[in-house]
């Protein structure tokens, strides 16, 4: 079946502009995660959605970052007033939910490479 898809694959934007990154999870997966991969910081968790529960935003680096998930499926990560340090690959992952509020393995999309000039 189809895996996790992300768009765009590459995005170049000017400092100060807003960007939106999109993630389509695997059909039927209830959990969705955003991570950021950058040279200086490695792979960092950003935000997590699980069903109708309030998202875990504990990894968002600043209030310029936000994300939403509509209809329990597609998610959009928005970065406002982009800065050069936001340049990174943004990875989305999804997983099915197991018993006891624990999610199983996460399947990753190919990522969006964001470059802020």
Q: Give the interface with other proteins as residue ranges (CB under 8 A).
A: 4, 31, 33, 35, 42-43, 45, 48, 50, 56, 59, 91, 93, 95, 100-111
What is the smallest separation between the CB atom of 62 and other proteins, expressed in angstroms?
Answer: 18
Our CB check for other proteins shows the closer of 12 and 43 to be 43
Among residues 70 and 102, whose Cβ is nearest to other proteins?
Answer: 102
DSSP 28: T
Longest CA–CA separation in the chain, Å:
45
Q: How far is the CB of 81 from other proteins (least distance, A)?
A: 26
Strands 75-79 and 65-69: antiparallel
Contacts of 73 (CB under 8 A, 6+ apart): 24, 25
Considering the complex, what minimum distance in angstroms separates the CB of residue 97 from other proteins? 9
The tokens of 88 are what? 């990174």
């Amino acid at each position: 079946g189809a895996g996790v898809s992300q768009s765009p694959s590459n995005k170049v934007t000017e400092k100060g502009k807003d960007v939106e990154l999109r993630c389509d999870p695997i059909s039927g997966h209830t959990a969705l995660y955003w991570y950021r991969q950058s040279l200086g910081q490695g792979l960092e968790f950003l935000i997590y959605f699980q069903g109708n529960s309030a998202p875990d935003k504990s990894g968002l680096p600043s209030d310029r970052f936000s994300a939403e998930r509509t209809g329990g499926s597609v998610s959009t990560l928005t970065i406002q007033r982009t800065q050069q340090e936001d340049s990174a690959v943004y990875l989305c992952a999804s997983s099915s939910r197991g018993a006891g509020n624990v999610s199983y393995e996460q399947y990753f999309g190919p990522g969006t490479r964001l470059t802020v000039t």
